[in-house]
Structure 1
Amino acid sequence: MIDRLIVEDTPPPFPDKQIDIPSEPSEPVPFDWQVIPSILQQLNEPNPQWWDRLKDIIAPTLIIGGGNNSHVPQNKLYEVAELIPDCKLVTIEGAGHHVHETNVPAYLKAVKSFLQLR
């Protein structure tokens, strides 16, 4: 069982917009490249029940958005947060997609508050 769920600036699928799947880079990247095409494929062809099943999430949930500097449409994070029964959306404006790296103090404040840690 999941006691609490934290989601950081993750794009939900929005079938009205297809995302091009890029070719594998010729230079090494500092992350597992194979996950990128997999994620984009899931965003392009999501489970048809994806949006409808958000209401079934029973764990208290925190969604952290990176604001206007993120490539993730922040309005979509808001839509997701509205559909999860016990969900709080925190936007860390200007942080961009890598919120936990770009604004560590604000990120930790949001997470600690949500987890009720000091």
Structure 2
Amino acid sequence: MSPLSYRDSGGAGSPVVLLHGGASSAATWDRFGAALAAAGRRTIAVDLRGHGGSPRAATYPLTGFRDDVTGLLDVLGLDRIALVGHSLGAHTASLVAQACPDRVSHLVLEELPVPGGLSGRRFLLPALLLLAARRGFDPRAMISVVRQLSAPDPAWWDRLASITAPTLVVSGGPRSHIPPARLAEVTRAIPAARLVTIPVGHRVHSLDPARFHAAVVPFLT
């Protein structure tokens, strides 16, 4: 597949790679990216395959999203990064941190969809609500992702123990379709993880940017 589209703030600061959720794009991180830049960090906000300016793909395996991101890191010559992901981007970030623990200095998993821990219909609902206003993604991507995340994945759970980076798991609380109890399980499975709850729903970084920034920026810096 062709290289991913991304937004690079430039600068000499330590890099933070930002991965959006399904049916979204790199633009969702504009406000948070500005906060990180103000803290002296370089940000790279990525359009995942099938989203934004990145190419549409023939298939959308979850490991494909991971490999796209690690390939971009190679192209950019980034050996060690902080990694922030929301929803689908959080799952992708978890796969990168499992496969390449030495490349991830800090990990933020916002509203991570846990394999087998939610129904496909409930997970798809937010994407369908966004679809009317946003056409910048391949609907086949979400159909494929929902199908894969609706199935249990014991190996994914086992590999959480291989994540060595300090990890912040962000829950949107009971207003979200991601069960907070499952995110608590994820937190316990990652050796150096802690959980923060900002009870505003699934899109924490958009719905309450002030509290999201207050929790995440100091963690990364």
Fold-level similarity (TM above 0.5): yes
1:99 is the counterpart of 2:99: no
Contact kept, 8 Å, 2:171 with 2:196, in 1: the verdict is: yes
2:141 aligned partner, one-letter code: V
SS at match of 1:35: helix
TM-score norm. by structure 1 comes to 0.81
Which of the residues 93, 108, 111 maps onto 2:213?
108
**1:12-91 matched pairs, under 5 angstroms:** 12-14=114-116, 18-20=119-121, 28-30=132-134, 32=137, 33-91=139-197
Give the whole-Å Cα distance in 1 for the aligned partners of 2:201 and 2:133. Answer: 19
Say how many residue pairs are matched: 112
Change (3 A) 1:29 1:46: farther
Give the whole-Å Cα distance in 2 for the aligned partners of 1:75 and 1:41. Answer: 22
Which of the residues 104, 108, 111 maps onto 1:6?
108
Gapped regions of structure 1 (runs ≥ 5): none
The 10-residue stretch of structure 1 (28-37 or 67-76) with the greater mean CA deviation from structure 2: 28-37
Q: Which has the higher contact order (CA 8 A, sep 6+)?
A: 1
The 10-residue stretch of structure 1 (51-60 or 31-40) with the greater mean CA deviation from structure 2: 31-40
Give the whole-Å Cα distance in 1 for the aligned partners of 2:204 and 2:172. Answer: 6
Which of the pair is proportionally richer in helix? 2
Gapped regions of structure 2 (runs ≥ 5): 1-102
TM-score norm. by structure 2 comes to 0.46
1:19 aligned partner, one-letter code: G
SS at match of 1:3: strand
1:100 aligned partner, one-letter code: H
Deviation at 1:10, TM superposition (A): 1.6
The 10-residue stretch of structure 1 (41-50 or 72-81) with the greater mean CA deviation from structure 2: 41-50
Identical aligned residues as a percent: 37
Give the whole-Å Cα distance in 2 for the aligned partners of 1:29 and 1:63. Answer: 29
